[in-house]
């Protein structure tokens, strides 16, 4: 009986390994990547997963953690949607606004330290990985003065994501909004 069970288990495992996928295959024979879709109701999960990931990186770098800031979140959301409308990832708004001006418009009273942006079909963690692999965007995320973070995105119907992450220092630290 044990021998038969083991034989059926091996056959079942072998057949499942041969199962076909519904995903299209690339020229290398491997399944093509699929777009990352943020379903309604997952917004808080995505935001806090990014916050936790950023803070894990900052902790590894012996830096103070950051907290989500509602005004920086609002500035990030505004710019993510605006980049989608413009169909280009860049730091300036359609109205010529800078990241600092957008933070000020959203009511942020602290010192704005920097903004990172991305256009992709990938998850927030894959996007953070790409940001950390670039010296300029890594410097924004790992700024020692940062204590506040804004993070948002806009997802188009075709699944393209426009990501924005803002970093800031609390009001009264190192000279106010700059």
Handedness of CA 81, 163, 152, 166 (dihedral sign): negative
Please give the model's pTM, rounded to 2 decimal places: 0.79
- CA 127, distance to chain mean position in Å, is 5
pLDDT at 32: 65
Distance CA 98, CA 146 (A): 19
Q: Where are the domains of the chain?
A: 42-169
pLDDT at residue 35, as a whole number: 85
pLDDT of res. 97: 95
Give dist(CA 166, CA 36) in Å, integer. 22
CATH architecture classification, 42-169: 3-Layer(aba) Sandwich (3.40)
- 138's enclosing H/E stretch is helix 135-141
Sheet holding 148-155, edge to edge: 67-68, 148-155, 161-169, 111-120
The CA-to-CA distance between both ends of the chain, in Å, stands at 76
How high is the mean pLDDT in each 10-residue block of the chain (178 residues)? 46 43 72 81 95 98 98 98 92 92 97 96 95 97 98 95 97 55
Question: Where does residue 27 fall: left (phi above 0), alpha (psi -120 to 50 degrees), or beta otherwise?
Answer: alpha
- Distances 116 to 10, 32, 62, 157 between C-alpha atoms, Å: 49, 27, 21, 23
């Amino acid at each position: 009986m044990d021998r038969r069970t083991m034989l059926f288990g091996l056959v079942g495992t072998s057949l499942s390994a041969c199962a076909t996928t519904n995903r299209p295959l690339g020229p290398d024979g491997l399944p093509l990547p699929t777009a990352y879709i943020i379903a309604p109701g997952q917004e808080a999960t995505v935001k806090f997963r990014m916050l936790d990931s950023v803070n894990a990186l900052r902790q590894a770098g012996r830096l103070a953690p950051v907290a989500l800031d509602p005004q920086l979140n609002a500035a990030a959301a505004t710019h993510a949607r605006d980049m989608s409308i413009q169909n280009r990832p860049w730091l300036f708004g359609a109205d010529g606004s800078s990241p600092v001006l957008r933070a000020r418009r959203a009511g942020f009273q602290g010192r704005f330290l920097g903004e990172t942006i991305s256009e992709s079909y990938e998850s927030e963690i894959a996007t953070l990985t790409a940001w950390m692999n670039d010296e300029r965007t890594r410097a924004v995320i790992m700024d020692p003065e940062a204590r506040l973070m804004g993070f948002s995105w806009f997802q188009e119907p075709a699944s393209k994501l426009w990501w924005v992450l803002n970093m800031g220092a609390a009001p009264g630290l190192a000279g106010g909004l700059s």
